[in-house]
A and B are shown apart, each in its own frame.
Chain A
Amino acid sequence: MREEELRTLMVRGLAGDARAHAALLRAIAPLLQAFYRRRCAGHADVEDLVQETLIAIHEKRASYDGLRPFTPWLYAIARYKMIDQFRRRRQTCDIAELDHILAEEGFEDLVGARLDMTRLLATLPAKQAEAIRQTKLEGHSVADHADAAGLGESDVKVSVHRGLKALAARLTGGR
């Protein structure tokens, strides 16, 4: 489920709609399971943490401001509950897994950035978007992409250049 849907459910729940509130908590539960399993499988009882977090989300729902994004609020609570449980049990993370955990921590930002990128690229002509995607995001060389798409290398370079320029203009010029 996406940010917009979750937020709508949350706002309706805040207005007193019990069904929306239950639907929200049901939609969140698997997200939390995935979140905790990725981070502390073997260190904590994931289901316990999920339930504790659901209760916190319910009890602290007044701290959500309907004008702000929902997902950061949700994961901030999830993260707090995880750290709190580690602290309470005086558990420490295995240092061997630290880089793994750190890598996962960046995951949400990464997904968010990728979504933004996809949305931005969709506003460009298909040829430019594809050239940028292949050479800048997927990491192919200009020559590879030129071969694959049956274009000249300079053609690809020009497409990338024009596309990036258009994107830059869009980003700096506002929406």
Chain B
Amino acid sequence: MDTDALIDQLAHNLQPTPRHAADWRMAIGLLAGGLATLALIVLTIGLNPALDQVVRHYAFWVKWAYALSLGVLSLGLVRTLGRPDARLHRSLWLLALPVAVLAAIGTVEMARVPPSHWLAMWLGDSWLICPWLILALSMPLFIGLLWSFRRMAPTRLGLAGAAAGLASGALGAMIYCLHCPEMSAIFVLTWYTLGILMAAGIGALLGPRLLRW
């Protein structure tokens, strides 16, 4: 086809693109994914039956804030990496901040109980399944983010996939808090983080395949 004709065809019937179109698309993808994750919890493993008491405990909010802050920071990364001329900011190290705070809280918690309790605190009742649940619950969010990427132009596909996986893992973990019965910071620090990192790893592997354009 002739380039001139192609240009005419592309410009024909041009729809305006609102300034924050990409952000809106991301929000819609995340909302749909988040609702699907929530539905998945309610329909399969169920909400925590003691949720009304659990939310009064500071440990619930520690968990939740940890997942939320990782999620928000990695969404910023996703947003950056959706642009073709993306440069990674120095603000990347901010991701270590929630981890450090949670580790500090975990240390304080451990210091308050006799060392014989440490193993139980660390493994809880669900260490074997927690990372896998988080990984599974992150999938709807990951799909939502992939969908929002269709209007974006990532050029570092592995990194963009990893960031999307990280964000969906963290936000999936945030929703998983509604089920999770564990209350110790070192449990969250280990097994939540492991689940979130698995999601990021899968994102890094799938990115180059799924994000090509």
Residues on A lying within 8 angstroms of B by beta carbon are 13-19, 21-22, 25-26, 29, 47, 50-51, 54-56, 58-66, 68, 72-73, 75-77, 79-80, 84
Whose C-beta in chain A lies nearest to the C-beta of B14? A18
Closest Cβ–Cβ distance, residue A22 to chain B (whole Å): 4
Contact partner, A15, options B8, B16, B84, Cβ 8 Å: B16
Nearest opposing residue in chain A for B21, CB measure: A62
Q: Is the CB of A54 within 8 A of B14?
A: no
Contacts of A54 in B (CB 8 A): 3, 6-7, 10
Q: Measured between C-beta atoms, what is the minimum distance from B153 to chain A in Å?
A: 4
> Which B residues have a C-beta under 8 Å from some C-beta of A?
1, 3-4, 6-8, 10-17, 19, 21-22, 25, 82-85, 151-153, 155, 212-213
Tell me what chain B mostly uses at the interface: helix, strand, loop, or mixed: loop
Per the bound structure, the CA–CA distance linking A15 and B15 in Å amounts to 8
Q: A26 near B7 (CB under 8 angstroms)?
A: yes
Complex: A161 Cα to B138 Cα, angstroms: 61
| CB contact under 8 A between A51 and B212, given known A65-B83, A66-B19, A73-B83 | no
- Complex: A47 Cα to B150 Cα, angstroms: 25
* Bound: A13/B15 CA distance, A: 9
CB distance from B29 to the nearest CB of A (A): 13
Residue among B3, B85, B151 making CB contact with A73, cutoff 8 Å: B85
Q: How far is the CA of A8 from the CA of B119 in the complex (A)?
A: 62
Interfacial chain A residues near B15, Cβ < 8 Å: 16
CA distance A66 to B17 in the complex (A): 11
B contact residues around A84 at 8 Å (CB)? 212
Cα(A64)–Cα(B84), bound, Å = 9
Kindly list chain A residues whose C-beta atoms are within 8 Å of the C-beta of B152.
60, 62-63
A37, chain B: closest CB distance, angstroms: 14
B153 contacts A60, CB within 8 Å?
Answer: yes
Residues of B near A21 (CB, < 8 A) are: 10-11, 14
